[in-house]
Chain A
């Protein structure tokens, strides 16, 4: 055990010296994840997942009142997300958040230091849509944080989680950091989980750019779902 620890220690030390600090695993696949969803999928969590940080910055550029940016902005993101998902998966079922949020919040390990947090259905209890059907796979969107110059390790690496940038500088990028789990609803197991990060360079920022950010995010989710398949 100690030998293993010391190997880890040396590995860590070598990593520190050679500067391979960015060697996180941002995705995790279940050994039984053999086929990416195709044609149909259910999605849940989109009612409450979206969060816009730096609301006044966004309010000014998107020309939405500062006190309604959270509501209107996230509603926009949600509808774009849904539209994009529908384009990608013809048969899209949107489950209300409450189907999943009634389960306790848990953490899911992706890497030694990366844990995502979210509601995960109980073992033995399938999620059902309002009509009572059991969709075979469900994409659970845990969090979708929109801000400027965000880095996912500052949100998900527990060693860096208290890092806050001291001074607000002129932002370079609008970023989205989001976590999700592809849930095998028939066998109630997490097939694939990931944390993604998107950086969108700022020139002028309008609502179309925010739309584009969500479109990029959905594309990346789909790409990851395909790449995460265990061969």
Chain B
């Protein structure tokens, strides 16, 4: 029991011994060069021992080199900043308030290249630790460890607290030069105009997912008798198949990555919903309608460059469409004279007008190759106010007052910018 207590106390002491104030994302190089900077010149650790501690604590660090940063310790600008830094380093203070303001000091930090500066300064019973690299004029990490006259234990403590992270391969001189001149992958201006063209497949159905069946069953269960008769003629889905795949072709553009317009064409083949019990259809071989939709959408979108090779553009669209139905009907071979009903069969309007609304997303790979997902709702209807026709006697010839369906689609696209 006593032993356990002692072990626990040691653990507690170890846990309190060091404290990290902040530790932002800095790069620990494999085979790193660690420059130990102690403003007063009395380094509390031994450079060689620190290297050994680093190797013991972080197996990925390779063969690090450590040395004292004498050129900063002798420099008055660095000395002043070092003292100031030691005085100002407090728990909870954001690193931006610890920025080196003196141009000379800033220049020193910027010319560190890929060396890592380890700042050490005694502060009461603790040692202040901070890490600087070339990227910013403020420390990337800072904190305290407990002062210890045993230099090996102190090195171990520093290594475990601040250098326990994944390492990266150190770049060669040429690679560094190339990195410096490379443009930022994620930096780009929004193009004035972005254009795309694509081809897609989709599926539309009258029944909306997650809604009760009885909302649409009067349309979906409807069957056509006698070439024209249904329970009602409000929806086209009383006559033709209400769940079919479609093919789409589309092209669009967005202006300043925000507002866009898109032209689309869709084709689907719809079978007539024939009542199989009706013997009149024995003469019939097939009866389909080709549905052609032509539409124009207005888009609102925003592009997010997720990685250098992938941009994601969520979008919202709202548009209108015209639907045309092209009849394809044929009698069986050998039927010479169709029935009377065949001659007075249902006919579709020349054109139905409707609206589309929905959301989607474009996933553009390598700036050009896109995959597009959409989901939405579309409607079709006919003009309600029409001059009565003298031939209106043979009802119901004018059908499809209001037809609504939902759709999903998947497209592949090619994108380019102007």
Listed in ascending order, the chain A residues whose CB lies under 8 Å from chain B are 1-3, 6, 30-32, 104, 106, 120, 122-125, 187-189
- What per-residue 1/0 map shows which CB atoms of B65-100 lie under 8 Å from chain A? 000000000000001111111011010111001001
Residue A31 contacts which of B79, B82, B97, B304 (CB distance < 8 angstroms)?
A: B97
Residues of A within 8 Å of B83, CB to CB, are 124
Residues of B within 8 Å of A30, CB to CB, are 97
Residues of A within 8 Å of B100, CB to CB, are 123
Q: Is B101 an interface residue (CB 8 A)?
A: yes
Q: Is B302 an interface residue (CB 8 A)?
A: yes
Residues of A within 8 Å of B105, CB to CB, are 123
Residues of A within 8 Å of B90, CB to CB, are 32
Residue B97 contacts which of A1, A104, A124, A189 (CB distance < 8 angstroms)?
A: A189
Is B80 within 8 A of A123, CB to CB? Answer: yes
How near does chain B come to A47, taking the closest CB pair, in angstroms?
24
Is B88 within 8 A of A187, CB to CB? Answer: yes
Report the Cα distance A30→B99, complex, angstroms: 13
A123-B304 CB under 8 A given contacts A2-B186, A30-B97: no
Is B101 within 8 A of A122, CB to CB? Answer: yes
Q: Is B183 an interface residue (CB 8 A)?
A: no
How near does chain B come to A80, taking the closest CB pair, in angstroms?
33
Is A122 within 8 A of B102, CB to CB? Answer: yes
When C-beta atoms are compared, the residue in chain A nearest to B96 turns out to be A109
Residues of A within 8 Å of B102, CB to CB, are 122-123
Is A2 within 8 A of B304, CB to CB? Answer: yes
How near does chain A come to B308, taking the closest CB pair, in angstroms?
12
Is B93 within 8 A of A187, CB to CB? Answer: no
Residue A187 contacts which of B87, B94, B103, B304 (CB distance < 8 angstroms)?
A: B87
The tally of residues in B whose CB lies under 8 Å from a CB in A reads 23
How near does chain A come to B159, taking the closest CB pair, in angstroms?
29
The residues in B between 207 and 258 inclusive whose CB is less than 8 angstroms from any CB of A are: none
- What per-residue 1/0 map shows which CB atoms of B288-312 lie under 8 Å from chain A? 0000000000000010110000000
Is B186 within 8 A of A1, CB to CB? Answer: yes
How near does chain B come to A108, taking the closest CB pair, in angstroms?
10
Is A125 within 8 A of B80, CB to CB? Answer: yes
Is B302 within 8 A of A6, CB to CB? Answer: yes
Is B88 within 8 A of A189, CB to CB? Answer: yes
When C-beta atoms are compared, the residue in chain B nearest to A124 turns out to be B80
How near does chain A come to B218, taking the closest CB pair, in angstroms?
44
Residues of B within 8 Å of A1, CB to CB, are 186
Is A104 within 8 A of B87, CB to CB? Answer: no
Is A188 within 8 A of B84, CB to CB? Answer: yes
How near does chain B come to A140, taking the closest CB pair, in angstroms?
14
Residues of A within 8 Å of B82, CB to CB, are 124
Report the Cα distance A1→B187, complex, angstroms: 10
Residues of B within 8 Å of A2, CB to CB, are 186, 304-305
When C-beta atoms are compared, the residue in chain B nearest to A30 turns out to be B97
Residue A3 contacts which of B81, B87, B92, B304 (CB distance < 8 angstroms)?
A: B304
Instruction: Give me 20 A-to-B residue pairs in the complex whose CB atoms sit less than 8 angstroms apart, sorted by A's number.
Output: A1-B186, A2-B186, A2-B305, A3-B304, A6-B302, A6-B304, A31-B93, A31-B97, A32-B93, A120-B101, A122-B102, A123-B85, A123-B100, A123-B101, A123-B102, A124-B81, A124-B82, A124-B83, A124-B84, A188-B84
Residues of B within 8 Å of A189, CB to CB, are 88, 97
Pick the 9 closest A-B CB pairs, nearest first: A124-B80, A124-B84, A123-B84, A124-B83, A123-B81, A2-B304, A187-B87, A187-B88, A122-B102
How near does chain B come to A58, taking the closest CB pair, in angstroms?
37
Residues of A within 8 Å of B103, CB to CB, are 104
